[in-house]
A and B are shown apart, each in its own frame.
Chain A
Amino acid sequence: MVWIVSICVELIFEKGNEVRFLSHLDVARAMERAVRRAKLPVAYSRGYNPRPKLAFASPLPLGVCGSAERAALALSRPMAAREVFAALAPCMPPGLRLKDVVALPNGRKPAYHLLDRADYVVSFPAPLDPPLGQRVAELLARPTLPVARRKGQGWKTVDIRRYIISARATSDTELELTLACGPGGHASPIEVLRALEAYSDDQPMPRIVRTRLYRRAG
């Protein structure tokens, strides 16, 4: 997508529990429609199929909620962040709630490619056996953690141990994770939960919420 002269604002939104199984593309399409309903002066991509210029910081995996997701919206003329919020918030579809709109320095597109880690909070409906704390300790003690990922037609093995920046059981039903994300390599919270043997078709599904995205220091 070519970014011509336009003014960006950042949308902070929530992807709620009831829409956790929406794919990233579904979320993107729903947000585009909301932006159109709000009649904002959005900038459109050029070409065969013009679409509102809306760039998401980082796609969420299927089944994962987000409490402070970020997306950059390009406007064709300057508009105060609070005005964007007032127009857009009532047009958001159920499950996707606009929390804030933030003005960006010089209206420049945020450097989402520099995001490199994210916080997650995982809540289990009931305490696990063996307990969560013990599982986490054992996991962190392992030097490598190979997982299989789809690649094209086949599979490849990735060691995600180095992408687990921190993992901490805050109670017997709650887990806090900080995982690497972005182009430098990433681990999905679901991969980590599978490694903890805490996520499968036979278990009640924990609620996973991404709470924050961080940018590389410096």
Chain B
Amino acid sequence: MRKDLSRVRLTFALCFPDVYEVGMSHVGLRILYHVLNSRPEIAAERVFMPWVDFEQLLRKTATPLFSLENKLPLRSFDIVGFSLQYELTYTNVLAMLELGGVPVLAAERGKDDPLVIAGGPCATNPEPLAPFLDAVVLGDGEEVALDLAQATIEGRERGLPRRDLLRRLADIPGVYVPSLYRAHYDGSRFAGVEPLDGAPQRVVRRIVLDLDAAPFPSAPVVPFVETIHDRVALEIARGCTQGCRFCHAGATYRPVRERSRGVLRRLARESVDSTGYDEISLLSLSTTDYSEIEALCDDLLEEFSGEQVSISLPSLRVDAFSVGLCERVSRVRRSGITLAAEAGTQRLRDVINKRVTDDDIERAACAAFDAGYQQIKLYFMIGLPTEREEDVLGIAETVRRIVRLGRERGAGRRGVIANVSVASFVPKPHTPFQWEAQLPPEELERRQRLVIDNLRTRAVKLSWHDVQQSRLEAIFARGDRRLAQVLLEARRLGLRLDGWTDLFNPGAWEEAFARAGVAPEEYLGEREEDQPLPWDHLSCGVSKDFLLRERRRALAGEPTPDCRRGPCVACGVDCEHLRRADL
């Protein structure tokens, strides 16, 4: 979409701090692109992180990083917004600002410089990026992006000084202006933030309650090159109440909201017609928890019968029902089956509140093999709180059991039956595990090896996350403003694209920490419960009380049921009240 920029009142750069193929797969970016460009007075244009070769060319030719649509340099936009999906893209945010000619520090931006804002999951603790961001958006972006745009248009057209405009933005619900808060430290310990200039004590996340009324892009840009998720992405629900205690999304997207079947059928039809895609992926944090999932699948199968359109269900619950459903929608093309058991023993699954039993896992796997799947994918995590040797060995044992079941059912022929991915636990803010330590990388590696050594079979293909990357992720996930200096030093050392394992340089990161005078270990240990946390002034809805209760239950090995199927767990998100208020 290329608008005539002389006819708009606001230019908005939607920056994704990773390469095009990753960014174009992101539904949030598509939604905001659609929402902003629906307004005739706004032009929203996409900007991605250039890969190494293009970055070199930009520097060599002294060309500022520009948008795809009107090739506008980043520095010429009114608002430059970043989507923060992953902590290891923070150096990309800085690199993109540098390449785009925008002063990296918010304090150094002047009247003609853009407002630099950010949103997305990592914005729930944006403190490591605080000095670089003029404003941060908490929660669903559909409405607040327009509020911000409107306030900026008015402020700009009335010639409001930058500081006054920022103060005004801070009054928009869900908007956090870091420069209006001063961080305090007690020696080397974070001691809380103090709002300045009458800024709100707490910034509360924005929630779009009615997904049916929320705009959804049914005619997205269709990339020529193959992207990571090259298909129609249909968001069927937002939020999840399974309550896995390590899960950031589960804690920060409450309450659960669903799009209704009729709307989804219409959106699916429009999307396929406008894009020509032959696959629809039903997106949500837990697809099979959608209340009418079977009826929805039947609707879509009927709508697209004879059109060779396939339907895929990512984020499956671990049970035979989910696998059965997956099989039912795979009439045209079969997508893979992934079971996220997360932990290898019942004890540890109770700790993390992943309420599936060995029986569930085995039945799900059998259902897949019986349906003719030759291999399945399994996700596990190591380094979870309270994890012991037997839990780690339990992962290998669970996998071996599944392989045996697969063999008995003729799966895999003589090749791989289970693709096993082992991630390392990263404590995330706003979750019941926000106080927990991350194990040192050497110990994580030892546990990885324990899994590897006990799974030496041709039927298993193992992959694991780089422990140094997980360590950095943990540091920044629970970081405070002192980490900004580390990011600046990292940029001076030329670091960026740290999420790409082949470009990741742990040695240089150590150097960046040393130069900034920041001890990384301070961010990795266990936090005390009465110690202020750098994100305490940012509320995602769930209360700290609930998180603490959940933490205690975790350490006592007590699961907590899903509130959609059991009693209210008093998480702090007043969903009944929200719904009533919305009527």
**Chain A positions within 8 Å of B278 at CB level:** 36, 51
Given contacts A48-B333, A50-B308, contact A26 B276 (CB under 8 A): no
Residues of chain A from 11 to 53 with CB closer than 8 A to chain B in the complex: 19, 22, 25-26, 29-30, 32-37, 39, 44, 48-51
Contact across chains for B224 and A19 when beta carbons are under 8 A apart: yes
**Chain B positions within 8 Å of A39 at CB level:** 273
Contact across chains for B224 and A26 when beta carbons are under 8 A apart: yes
**Chain B positions within 8 Å of A93 at CB level:** 222, 224
Distance between B568 CB and nearest chain A CB, rounded to angstroms = 46
Contact across chains for B276 and A32 when beta carbons are under 8 A apart: yes
Q: A48 contacts which of B224, B274, B275, B334 (Cβ < 8 Å)?
A: B334
Contact across chains for A33 and B308 when beta carbons are under 8 A apart: no
A selection of 6 A-B contacts at a CB cut-off of 8 Å is A26-B226, A35-B276, A36-B276, A37-B274, A37-B276, A93-B224
Distance between A75 CB and nearest chain B CB, rounded to angstroms = 14
Query: Number of A interface residues, CB 8 Å?
Result: 20
Distance between A166 CB and nearest chain B CB, rounded to angstroms = 33
Contact across chains for B333 and A50 when beta carbons are under 8 A apart: yes
Contact across chains for B226 and A29 when beta carbons are under 8 A apart: yes
Contact across chains for A33 and B333 when beta carbons are under 8 A apart: no
Q: Mark B211-240, 1 if CB is under 8 A from A, else 0.
A: 000000000001011100000000000000
* Beyond known contacts A32-B276, A35-B276, A93-B222: 7 more, CB 8 A cutoff: A25-B226, A26-B226, A29-B226, A34-B276, A37-B274, A49-B333, A51-B278
| Number of interchain pairs (Cβ within 8 Å) | 38
Whether B172 sits at the interface, judged by CB under 8 Å, is no
Residues of chain B from 397 to 441 with CB closer than 8 A to chain A in the complex: none
In the bound complex, what is the Cα–Cα distance between A119 and B273 (angstroms)? Answer: 37
Residue in A closest to B334 when the chains form the complex, CB atoms: A48
Contact across chains for A37 and B224 when beta carbons are under 8 A apart: no
Contact across chains for B276 and A33 when beta carbons are under 8 A apart: yes
Contact across chains for B334 and A22 when beta carbons are under 8 A apart: no
In the bound complex, what is the Cα–Cα distance between A55 and B277 (angstroms)? Answer: 19
In the bound complex, what is the Cα–Cα distance between A91 and B222 (angstroms)? Answer: 12
Q: Mark A89-105, 1 if CB is under 8 A from B, else 0.
A: 00101000000000000
Whether B283 sits at the interface, judged by CB under 8 Å, is no
Distance between A94 CB and nearest chain B CB, rounded to angstroms = 9
**Chain A positions within 8 Å of B275 at CB level:** 33, 37
Q: A22 contacts which of B224, B273, B274 (Cβ < 8 Å)?
A: B224
**Chain B positions within 8 Å of A50 at CB level:** 308, 332-333
In the bound complex, what is the Cα–Cα distance between A30 and B224 (angstroms)? Answer: 6
Contact across chains for A44 and B308 when beta carbons are under 8 A apart: yes
**Chain B positions within 8 Å of A33 at CB level:** 222, 275-277
B residues whose Cβ falls under 8 Å from a Cβ of A? 222, 224-226, 272-278, 308, 332-334
Residue in B closest to A91 when the chains form the complex, CB atoms: B276
Distance between A201 CB and nearest chain B CB, rounded to angstroms = 10
In the bound complex, what is the Cα–Cα distance between A36 and B224 (angstroms)? Answer: 15
Residue in B closest to A47 when the chains form the complex, CB atoms: B333
Distance between B332 CB and nearest chain A CB, rounded to angstroms = 7
Distance between A71 CB and nearest chain B CB, rounded to angstroms = 16
In the bound complex, what is the Cα–Cα distance between A50 and B274 (angstroms)? Answer: 20
Q: Mark A149-176, 1 if CB is under 8 A from B, else 0.
A: 0000000000000000000000000000
Residue in A closest to B230 when the chains form the complex, CB atoms: A29
> In this complex, which of B272, B277, B308, B334 has the most chain A Cβ atoms within 10 angstroms of its Cβ?
B308
In the bound complex, what is the Cα–Cα distance between A33 and B274 (angstroms)? Answer: 10
In the bound complex, what is the Cα–Cα distance between A19 and B225 (angstroms)? Answer: 11
**Chain B positions within 8 Å of A26 at CB level:** 224-226
Residue in A closest to B272 when the chains form the complex, CB atoms: A36
Residue in B closest to A94 when the chains form the complex, CB atoms: B224
**Chain B positions within 8 Å of A51 at CB level:** 278
**Chain A positions within 8 Å of B332 at CB level:** 50
**Chain B positions within 8 Å of A32 at CB level:** 276
Distance between B453 CB and nearest chain A CB, rounded to angstroms = 32
**Chain B positions within 8 Å of A22 at CB level:** 224-225
In the bound complex, what is the Cα–Cα distance between A19 and B223 (angstroms)? Answer: 12
Distance between B280 CB and nearest chain A CB, rounded to angstroms = 13
Q: Mark A201-215, 1 if CB is under 8 A from B, else 0.
A: 000000000000000
Residues of chain A from 39 to 96 with CB closer than 8 A to chain B in the complex: 39, 44, 48-51, 91, 93
Residue in A closest to B277 when the chains form the complex, CB atoms: A33
Residue in A closest to B333 when the chains form the complex, CB atoms: A49
In the bound complex, what is the Cα–Cα distance between A48 and B372 (angstroms)? Answer: 13
In the bound complex, what is the Cα–Cα distance between A25 and B225 (angstroms)? Answer: 9
In the bound complex, what is the Cα–Cα distance between A32 and B278 (angstroms)? Answer: 10
**Chain B positions within 8 Å of A37 at CB level:** 273-276
**Chain A positions within 8 Å of B224 at CB level:** 19, 22, 26, 29-30, 93
Distance between A1 CB and nearest chain B CB, rounded to angstroms = 15
In the bound complex, what is the Cα–Cα distance between A32 and B275 (angstroms)? Answer: 11
Residue in B closest to A19 when the chains form the complex, CB atoms: B224
Residue in B closest to A26 when the chains form the complex, CB atoms: B224
In the bound complex, what is the Cα–Cα distance between A48 and B226 (angstroms)? Answer: 20
In the bound complex, what is the Cα–Cα distance between A51 and B278 (angstroms)? Answer: 9
> In this complex, which of A25, A26, A36, A39 has the most chain B Cβ atoms within 10 angstroms of its Cβ?
A36
Residue in A closest to B278 when the chains form the complex, CB atoms: A36
In the bound complex, what is the Cα–Cα distance between A44 and B310 (angstroms)? Answer: 14
3 nearest interchain CB pairs?
A: A33-B276, A36-B276, A37-B276
Distance between B45 CB and nearest chain A CB, rounded to angstroms = 16
Q: Mark A174-195, 1 if CB is under 8 A from B, else 0.
A: 0000000000000000000000
> In this complex, which of B226, B273, B278, B333 has the most chain A Cβ atoms within 10 angstroms of its Cβ?
B278
Residue in B closest to A27 when the chains form the complex, CB atoms: B224
**Chain A positions within 8 Å of B222 at CB level:** 30, 33, 93
**Chain A positions within 8 Å of B276 at CB level:** 32-37, 91
> In this complex, which of B224, B225, B274 has the most chain A Cβ atoms within 10 angstroms of its Cβ?
B224
Distance between A21 CB and nearest chain B CB, rounded to angstroms = 9
Distance between A131 CB and nearest chain B CB, rounded to angstroms = 29
**Chain B positions within 8 Å of A91 at CB level:** 276
**Chain B positions within 8 Å of A48 at CB level:** 333-334
Distance between A69 CB and nearest chain B CB, rounded to angstroms = 16
Distance between A138 CB and nearest chain B CB, rounded to angstroms = 33
**Chain B positions within 8 Å of A36 at CB level:** 272, 276-278
Residues of chain A from 87 to 138 with CB closer than 8 A to chain B in the complex: 91, 93
**Chain A positions within 8 Å of B333 at CB level:** 48-50
Residue in A closest to B273 when the chains form the complex, CB atoms: A37
In the bound complex, what is the Cα–Cα distance between A50 and B222 (angstroms)? Answer: 20
In the bound complex, what is the Cα–Cα distance between A51 and B333 (angstroms)? Answer: 10
Residue in B closest to A23 when the chains form the complex, CB atoms: B225
Distance between A141 CB and nearest chain B CB, rounded to angstroms = 37
> In this complex, which of B274, B276, B308 has the most chain A Cβ atoms within 10 angstroms of its Cβ?
B276
Distance between A200 CB and nearest chain B CB, rounded to angstroms = 15
**Chain A positions within 8 Å of B277 at CB level:** 33, 36
**Chain A positions within 8 Å of B272 at CB level:** 36
**Chain B positions within 8 Å of A35 at CB level:** 276
Distance between A88 CB and nearest chain B CB, rounded to angstroms = 11
